[in-house]
Structure 1
Amino acid sequence: MTDTSSPQDTRTLYLEDIAVGDRFVSGEHALDAEQIKSFASQFDPQPFHLDEAAGQDSLFGGLAASGWHTAAITMKLFVAAMPIAKGLIGAGVELTWPKPTRAEDVLHVESTVTEITPSRSRPGRAMVTVETLTLNQHGEPRQRLVSRMVMFARGAD
């Protein structure tokens, strides 16, 4: 396993530090068959995630990582690239997997702030929408995540 993820910015991000259009790019995470099978054996034990031959005979045409494995890697890379103050507090997501993630993929995420909606009832916080694409080493999308999260201004409770 190779993991070169590191925050692009060492500060902690508050609401006033971001704007619509801001983009965050993560480090990388290299996958291999052992990681795919290990995750699948614990959390998604389906044949096409556990065995190359079963994967070959499936819709995927080869060993494929669980979408939930891709989502977990995405979360790790996203949190490192966009270190949100007080943590990432999710309020809903839209998640799609356009193509399977493979053992040879080296993943990174590119996240873009698409909307900021200040709270009317709670000053100092807002609902922030971010589109996060998980791309392999060829720039091919493996996952698209649109997440809504609560974000706080400095000094907000």
Structure 2
Amino acid sequence: MSTHVSETQVQEWLDDTAISNVTRHSDEETAFNFQVELSRLPIHVIKETEFGPVQIVGRSGFDTDAAKTLLRDDQRRGELLKYVGPMLAATPGFYTFLDEDEASCELREAETIQVEYRIYPDEASQQALMDGIMSIATSMRYIQNVIAGVSARDPVTGK
């Protein structure tokens, strides 16, 4: 059983056939923070304290006018949740809707969705790390695709 996962170990576990553009972010408040890209999606691999969990964090913004309009319309927001709800429930970890100040909020007021998965030291492995990164990326891509699809539909005809 491991009690510590080092920055070097995490870097060695990143599968460079799937991951691209590993960028280290200097942050005095964390033990380490890497931004990795999987299929052009930025994902952070963070460890806040030396003996804490490795956090895999992805964010997807509701940053288009169409997405914001979709979120503000009760009926269309319900349609969006019908599609993304099961995906979010099936994604390991947890998700949070964040407002413009990065505070938790209701979907109606969201600017971003953050999906986070934690790997604790006694379960850390290359497989756990890569499974977590891929799950977060899959969830982010699905959300982006659903928002684009639902936003493109005519709210009256559904086409």
Higher helix residue share: 2
- Sort the TM-score into its range (normalised by shorter chain): under 0.3
Higher strand residue share: 1
TM-score, with structure 1 as normaliser:
0.26
